[in-house]
Structure 1
Amino acid sequence: MPNSAPIHSITASTSGTAGNVGNTGNAPGGGSAGDSTPSNATAPRMRFTAQEKKWIVYDVGNSAFVLLSTAVVPIYANSLLEAAGQSNIVSTWGYAQTIASLVIAVLTPLLGSIADVQGMKIRFFTGFLLTGVVMCCAMALPLGWLAFLIVCVLATIGLNGSLTFYDSMLVDVTTDERMDRVSSHGYAWGYIGSTVPFIACIALIFGGPALLGLPTVLCTRISFVITAIWWIAFTIPLLTSYRQTHYRATRDKTGEAIRGTFDELRSTFRAIHANKPLWMFMIAFFFYIDAVNTVISMSTSYGTQLGIDPTQLVAALLVTQFVAFPCAIIYGRLADRFGGKTMIVAAVIVYLCIVFFAAFFLRTATEFWILAILVGMFQGGIQALSRSYYGKLIPKQHADEYYGFYDVFGKTASVLGTFLVATTTSITGNASLGVLSITILLALALVFLLAQKDPTRG
């Protein structure tokens, strides 16, 4: 996507806090975070800035791997499992995703605290990014099912680790007033942009054997390499332009800041716990994002175990991307009118209905299509608004550290969700009951959301 071309026009008032003003960072524990910006309230319309567009474009890159991991990788893993005499892909895939989520949940708070040092955020982002890209390429090697799952777990760790620091970059590239729109457009363009390499990969997988004389397995492996190239290509604009404007220490104080990291983590956790609206939201987020991530990561494996044709699964998930594109943008606009929290509550209620539908009615390809479209309508919105709503509640100069805790809650929830589905399915032998267990988490999330007072709405 050319960076000189505006992605979208928005109406924005940039008065208030969270401006992109450099932090002097004179003390290792903090520094003045310049959080005020000149008002542009008189300007009726503003286009995305160059920084905002380059931040959005990374979603186009990483979403290609997310889509491939959702639609193709579980089917390929299932073929490896079947060849090895294994049968229950739902539980096996669920445990693999649980391990990846657990590693990220343990690492991100510590690394996030260190990354709040001036100049460190981009280094951690790059490290996880390269891990994900290299492991994505390694998935193309002729591996057995266990080795493939290990490499897949490492690729997932690289992806989710990069997203932790990418999410925290949001406070550096935009303002509170624009945050919902920018975050929503990131997910939206990620959905639509990811379809380009995905369609190429699917065309190769299904058409390669007949047109090129290549085995389907080889075509599938080549698709992993195509996805990795797309991922890194759309990361270059962000890598070459990003500047960290909110931080808690300067680079010459890095050693002192790192030594104080654990004290900072304890202090941040106490600060989060003392901030009741933030704490209530994080508990709610823990439960509802669990359901969202579990539905995303387990949908194809669930459909595969139900015996739905893989072609139907892939086609339905591709359509989901096109549905999600406008819906994510619309969700951002609705948040401007009704508030981010209100729209998050609405999405949680819809997800309750989606999970009930999946557990009780999903049996055929037609019903999977219905499920995929419903998920596409609300998935991007709830993810984007969660990211931006949280960004409005936290101190900007500690963004990495706070987003580290944000990911602990999100990724630990993913551990619970996939583990719950996998364990319930293993014990009962019924994948539908495993899916149904997610409703408990959504109901708990709804309770905490309704109990939380929204500090962004006066």
Structure 2
Amino acid sequence: DGLNIRVAIVASAVWFGIFAIPVLLRVPEIPAAERRVRVGFFRSYAVLWGTLTKLWHGNRQVLMFLLASAVFRDGLAGVFTFGAIIAAQVFRFSSSEVLYFAVAANVVAGASTILAGRLDDRFGPKNVIMASLIGLVATGTVVLFIGTAQIGFWIAGLILTAFVGPVQSASRSFLARITPPGREGEIFGLYATTGRAVSFMAPGLFALFVAISGDTRLGILGITIVLLAGLALMIPVKAKQAVID
């Protein structure tokens, strides 16, 4: 009755818990006396709005990047979430084959991220982001025309995932460089918040294209559109740091 799946989930939870212990025990926390005054649930949204207003007037580039990254990061999430569905329904991967592909995809993404770190240092994070998004859009489009042979999906899929890691790492690098000193925690908190705010886009467009066409493969168009929108929003963003008053 799916015991192997249940055990796998428990193993993941144990793995997560074990490697969270060093963070909980060894990473220093800001002393309570130095933290800002805590606010209630509804007041926190007023504080959030105030932060966004300050960004708009004092450092619009940060706000523009938060918007662009929220969009293309939703597309990245769609690559992994719906890639498994496409593999199973279009290319007839078994559940085990989907897992094998997931392992290979994460290894490729990790290796490409290390390489992208060198490119980030040399050419800057924005160039890495732009090049990777172009690669994602182009490879996602190729998936529409590779037939149903599994080898085609393996090749296109691994090329696709090779661009995912660099986008994620370069995005954090870019944000760190344009964030005003002393506001890192706040801005990176917004980075996580904005990512959740638009998390409906890729699933919604994926479902829309599948529903209209009746073909699961065409769902990749929805993900590609989200990535393309993120790419377009990223174009005017400048890597210029400014101090927020």
Q: Which residue of 1 aligns with 2:39?
A: 258
Q: Per-residue CA shift, 1:387-441, capped at 9, x if unaligned?
A: 2221232245443432332123222332111121123312332222221123332
Bigger shift: 385-394 or 324-333?
385-394
How far apart, CA to CA, are the structure 2 residues paired with 1:372 and 1:397?
A: 40
Deviations 1:125-175 (A, max 9, x none): xxxxxxxxxxxxxxxxxxxxxxxxxxxxxxxxxxxxxxxxxxxxxxxxxxx
Q: Percent identity?
A: 26
2:209 touches 2:219 (CA, 8 Å); kept in 1? yes
* 1:314-329 matches, cutoff 5 A: 314-329=99-114
Task: State yes or no: 1:410 paired with 2:211.
Answer: no
Among 48, 57, 64, the alignment partner of 1:280 is 64
- Whether 1:292 and 2:54 are equivalent positions in the alignment is no
Structural RMSD (CA): 2.3
Q: 1:413 to 1:358 in 2, by over 3 A?
A: farther
1:208-219 pair list within 5 angstroms: 217-219=2-4
Q: 1:341 to 1:244 in 2, by over 3 A?
A: farther
How many residues of Structure 1 are paired with residues of Structure 2 in the alignment?
237
Please point out which of 143, 146, 164 is paired with 1:379: 164
| Native 8 Å contact 1:331 1:343 kept in 2 | yes
> CA, structure 1 residues 429+233, in 2 after alignment: closer, same or farther (shift >3 Å)?
same
**In 2, distance between residues paired with 1:381 and 1:268?**
28
Q: 1:300 to 1:397 in 2, by over 3 A?
A: same
- Give secondary structure in 2 for the equivalent of 1:308: coil
Once the two structures are superposed, residues 158-214 of structure 1 have per-residue CA deviations (whole angstroms, 9 ceiling, x without a partner) of xxxxxxxxxxxxxxxxxxxxxxxxxxxxxxxxxxxxxxxxxxxxxxxxxxxxxxxxx
**Gaps (5+ residues) in structure 1?**
1-214
SS at match of 2:135: helix
Give the aligned residue type for 1:283: L
Q: Which runs of 4+ in 1 moved over 6 A?
A: none
Q: How far is the alpha carbon of 1:338 from its aligned partner?
A: 0.5
Mapped to 2, the partners of 1:370 and 1:389 lie a distance apart of 29
**1:253: Cα distance to partner?**
7.6
Contact 1:347 1:378 in 2 (8 A): yes
Measure, in 1, the Cα distance between the counterparts of 2:235 and 2:126: 9
Quote the residue 1:449 is aligned against. 234
Q: Please list, as runs of the form range in 1=range in 2, the aligned pairs for 1:40-439 lying within 5 A after superposition.
A: 217-244=2-29, 251-252=32-33, 256-258=37-39, 261-274=44-57, 275-310=59-94, 311-361=96-146, 363-395=148-180, 397-439=182-224
- 2:105 is aligned with what amino acid? T
Please state whether the residue corresponding to 1:455 is helix, strand or coil: coil
Greater C-alpha Rg: 1
Read off the aligned partner of 1:315 and give its amino acid letter.
Y
In the alignment, the residues of structure 1 paired with residue 144 and residue 185 of structure 2 have an alpha-carbon distance, to the nearest angstrom, of 37
Contact 1:352–1:442, Cα closer than 8 Å, also in 2: yes
Using a 3 Å threshold, how does the CA distance of structure 1 residues 319 and 262 change in structure 2: closer, same or farther?
closer
Asked if structure 2 preserves the Cα contact closer than 8 Å seen for 1:355 and 1:439, the reply is: yes
- SS of the aligned residue for 2:54 comes to helix
Q: What TM-score comes out, normalization by structure 1 length?
A: 0.48
Higher relative contact order (CA 8 A, sep 6+): 2
Residue 335 (structure 1) shift? 0.4
Structure 1 or 2: more helix by fraction? 2
The TM-score, its normalising length taken from structure 2, stands at: 0.85
Contact 2:177 2:239 in 1 (8 A): no
Could you say what secondary structure the match of 2:154 adopts?
helix
Q: 1-side partners of 2:34 and 2:128: how far apart?
A: 41
Which letter does structure 2 place at the counterpart of 1:441? V
- For structure 2, the residue ranges without an aligned partner over 5 or more in a row are none
Partners of 1:441 and 1:376 lie apart in 2 by 16
